[in-house]
Amino acid sequence: MQLAAELMDQGVDTLDAAVEGVKIRELDPEDTSVGYGGLPNEHGVVQLDASCMHGPSHRAGAVGALEGIKTPSVVAKYVLLYTDHIMLVGKGAKEFALSYGFQEEDLLTDKSREIWLRWRANRGPDDDWLNIPKENNLEFERHGTINCNVVNAAGDVSSVTTTSGLAWKIPGRVGDSPIIGAGQYTDNDIGAAGSTGRGESNIKVCGAFLTVEFMRRGMSPTDAALETLRRVVATTESRLLDDQGRPKFGLSFYAVNKRGEFGAASLWNSTSGGAARQYAAFDGREAALHDAAYLFERSQ
């Protein structure tokens, strides 16, 4: 985020700046939520999703279930720049990336492989795999996504979302991150929004698009995100609700408007581990963590 802001100050296009910002994490082998080192599907294969939108040109690009390429956000940008398509998936997305000089690499690091092996061994008491004791240094979240929404001094807006998806997913599963209007959405007249959390619940309400539309009606970024979450709750099937009618899952939305005002909201005030729901934002002076608004409070 800091890098994206610095690049925009230097005159770099908003989309290029946002991609460079998220690419840092995609290339970080210690980050198990995106890119290189992301947690794999149930077969042990890392499949990456990403999408981007460029406000000034009204263009978009996305890739889904991309294997063997560390930076899906960059491949998504290339889809935007060089094709008349918006989304490429699976083998086709990989062949497209290779044709532009991207290098095919094994994305499963020793760390992510060890986490996957332990999940596979411990997933059932009656299978033929020996259960392996849990190790504290292998803590992880099944969900992991980065959404970056940016606006420059001229009011031009772009957005990027990237993820390795839900850990242990059924091979081929694509969540909300590469879907324009769900994982992220940009309207250069209004602003941008994106999401992290349970993608299936976001897809059903076109959450990023809906958040931008609420801002179009005059809502602040935070209020718009909260209103989208209320729509999510209203469309959630009963099996995913607790006995008080609250979602059993987590979902967050992040938004920025054309004036540079930003905000975020989550279903819950904290993670399942008790940590507060926070997001990072750069206000033109410094980058800082902010508490997200929320609908429901977890009992301590």
The strand pairing partners of 62, in sequence order, are 51, 87
259 with 248: CB under 8 angstroms? no
The maximal CA–CA distance of the chain, rounded, in angstroms, is 61
Sign, CA dihedral 38-44-45-49, equals negative
Strands 59-66 and 87-89: parallel
Residues 6+ positions from 146 with CB-CB distance below 8 Å: 22, 25, 33, 34, 161, 162, 163, 196
Q: What angle do CA 64, 66, 70 make, to 5 degrees?
A: 125
Residues taking part in catalysis? 145
Tokens of 25: 């994490």
- φ, ψ dihedrals at 93, nearest 5°: -65, -40
- Count other C-beta atoms under 10 Å from residue 299's C-beta: 3
The strand pairing partners of 255, in sequence order, are 193, 263
Distance CA 202, CA 197 (A): 8
Cα first-last separation, the chain: 32
Q: At which residue do the structure tokens 């279903």 appear?
A: 267
Distance CA 229, CA 221 (A): 13
Buried b (16+ CB within 10 A) or exposed e, 123-160: eeeeeeeeeeeeeeeeebeebbbbbbbbbbeebbbbbb
